[in-house]
Amino acid sequence: MVAIASGEASELDLRRSSAQPAADVLVGLGSRPSGLTATEVTARLARVGPNAVRDHKARVLGVLWRQLNSPLLALLAGTAVVSFFLGEHTNAVIIGMILAVSIGLGFVNEYRAERSAQALHARIRHTVTALRDGAPAAVDVTALVPGDVVRLQLGGVVPADLRLLEVVDLQCEESILTGESVPATKTAEPLPSPGEVTDLTCCALMGTVVSSGSGTGVVVATGAQAVFGRIAVGLGTRVPETDFQVGLRRFSFLLMQVAAVLTAS
């Protein structure tokens, strides 16, 4: 177990913490039953970042790239260029105008939608009761850091991966992670040995819901480091092209080559 100095949290594995007594987990995270101080929270937040899987910002370049990244647009653009150099200036201008209007309308609509989603997300605030400076306080979920001591209440969503310290008839609905419809009964007792993440009865996982009872736990992992966060990040990665998309892209380039040959002959 690594002790923490200068208010920095260690990278304590959730599975490993499940096999350790709660007191040892607190020591490993540089925390205590009364929670962290404001100074410790500030230092850790700067180090590990907010408790969020990803930000919700409308990015101009990203939206523009999605509008431009189309084989059909590339085909029309190539046709316009070839027409211009062959002296068909009118055709080139018409095609260029069609491209500009199509890209412009698509960009405006998508960017407005992303701005609306960003504004909606900024208005939504989720808070949780955490112990700060020895007293309970309503804390924004995104401001949680490893080592924070959090209280769980009936109906609340678990805001991060927690090693439970105390429980009172606590049960959590974990179907979002396990698919099980029956709530999992939780305990503060350590396991004999680390098991699968979904079998950690002394831990509460981000995104699950308290279906009965109450409890207190210390934050072990936040954001993309939590089990739910890793799944969300994996789902957010770029999906590989399907065979149809690959075929469409190749067919578009083939049409460009055929058009170039026909116009040049």
Taking only the tens place, the pLDDT of each residue in 43-70 is 999 999 889 876 667 677 877 888 887 7
Q: Please list the residues that pair with 140 across neighbouring strands.
A: 127
Computed on alpha carbons and rounded to an integer, the radius of gyration of the chain in Å comes to 27
- CATH 2.70.150.10 boundaries in the chain: 14-52+127-230
CA 234 to chain centre: 9
Which CATH architecture describes the domain 14-52+127-230? Distorted Sandwich (2.70)
Query: How many whole angstroms separate alpha carbon 1 and alpha carbon 205?
Result: 22
Residue 5 binned pLDDT confidence (cut-offs 50, 70, 90): very low
The DSSP-derived string for 28-79 is HTT--TT-B-HHHHHHHHHHH--S-SS-----HHHHHHHHH--HHHHHHHHH
Inform me whether the pLDDT recorded for 244 exceeds 50. yes
Spatial separation of the C-alpha atoms in residues 67 and 200, rounded to whole Å: 45
Q: What is the pLDDT of residues 124-173, one digit of tens each?
A: 668 899 999 989 999 999 899 999 999 999 989 999 999 999 999 999 99
Q: How confident is the model at residue 192 (pLDDT cuts 50, 70, 90)?
A: confident
Mean model confidence pLDDT for the chain: 82
In the chain, what is the straight-line distance between the N-terminal and C-terminal CA atoms, in Å?
76
Our measurement of the distance from residue 79's CA atom to the centroid of its chain's CA atoms, rounded to an integer in Å, reads: 41
